[in-house]
Amino acid sequence: MKASCYAALIYILMCHHLSAYASNSSDCGETDCINVGEWELGVAIGIGARSNPLVDGDVLPLIVLPDIAYYGESFYFDNFEIGYQLLPSNNQSVEVFVKPNTERAYFSFWHPDNVLLTFTSSPLDGPSTPTFPTIPGVPNEPTKPVQKEISVDDVSKRDWAIDAGVRWQYYQPSYRLSAFINTDVSGVYKGTNGGVNVAFPWRLNEWQFTSSLGAVYKSTALTNYYYGISIADTKSKDTFQAKGGWQYSFNTSASYQFSDSWQILLRFEITQLHSGMYNSPLVKDKQVTSVFSGFVYRF
């Protein structure tokens, strides 16, 4: 993952260099500005999926995706996040908000991200049991403790949680920096998460690109609630205490507007899970990958 992080950083720096020539406006662009008091509605239709790191977890299909936002003078609704913007200025803002925590999505097929279609297999849906040839005496995954895997189908139900948070953002023409901290206000996992993200928008001819790097800390309480194994999950005494840690992600998207209402959208994202999570017998992958390609219609 280190190599891929470096590759992502080099890619972003190259893009950033390009953007110095391609972008010279300090105002928000067409893609991230919205008229006050108007709904922004878009739907992306295409093909894509997000991998599921859980043992026997269903891949999350990305077929029809909404982009819904409404902004008042200070209040906003943006893709299921409801918030209030404090101290907005041209180049920075602070907002407080509530939003669903998406960790639960891996445990169920339904998620706001998804469409109700059944995928039986996907390139992103790795096998639930290793298929590498077994060499006697050599474990298949030497970095992961040898432990019996536990299927997501065999553990007790995890609940959806609601997070409340505060986010600070700093805007420049060539990048957008944000830092946030969220806490569970629904009493489900009773923990916190927080992180930083830097996004680089840039243009190349008619294509609009955004690439970002992010780091998110997920607390032990959060990680253990979703990925720990308690006596409620297993009939044996083999419990597992998941621990908090930092997850790193790289995201890039490209869009090409070819008419007033239509555009092409391509997205790719990879997240490196932290060891306190992927060491869980419930987790089989160290990364989560998300890809999508399709068409966007803006109403």
Residue 185: CB minimum distance to other proteins, A: 19
Contact flag: residue 62 with other proteins (CB under 8 A): yes
All residues at 6 or more sequence positions from 112 whose CB lies less than 8 Å from its CB, including other chains: 66, 80, 100
By CB under 8 A, the residues from 199 to 218 that bind other proteins are 199, 210
Q: Show the tokens assigned to 260.
A: 């007033």
Binding segment toward other proteins, per CB under 8 A, in 12-20, 26-34, 118-126, 154-162: 26-34
Contact flag: residue 4 with other proteins (CB under 8 A): no
DSSP summary character for residue 15:
H
Under the phi-then-psi rule, with left for phi > 0, alpha for psi from -120 to 50, and beta for the rest, what region is 79? left
Which of 33, 45, 82, 185 binds other proteins (CB under 8 A)? It is: 33
- Amino acid sitting at position 177: L
Burial label for 109, CB within 10 Å (0-12, 13-18, 19+), is middle
Helix (H) or strand (E) holding 253: strand 245-257
Residue 113: CB minimum distance to other proteins, A: 6
Binding flags for other proteins, 106-145, as an x/- string (CB under 8 A): ------xx--------------------------------
Which of 3, 24, 25, 35 binds other proteins (CB under 8 A)? It is: 35
Residue pair 144/121 in contact (Cβ under 8 Å)? The answer is: no
Contact flag: residue 166 with other proteins (CB under 8 A): no
Instruction: For 51-95, give the DSSP string.
Output: ---BTTPPPEE-SEEEEEEEE-SSEEEETTEEEEEES--SSEEEE
Q: Helix (H, G, I), strand (E, B), or coil: what is residue 28?
A: coil
Pairwise CA distance, residues 225 & 189, whole Å: 6
Residue 28: CB minimum distance to other proteins, A: 4
Binding segment toward other proteins, per CB under 8 A, in 115-123, 184-192, 242-250, 257-265: 257-265
Which of 4, 6, 38, 236 binds other proteins (CB under 8 A)? It is: 38
Nearer to other proteins, 37 or 142 (CB): 37
- Site for other proteins, rule CB under 8 A: 28, 30-38, 40, 42, 44, 50, 62, 65-67, 69, 71, 76, 78-81, 83, 85, 88, 93, 95, 97, 112-113, 167, 169, 171, 176, 199, 210, 253, 257, 260, 265, 267, 269, 290, 292, 298-299
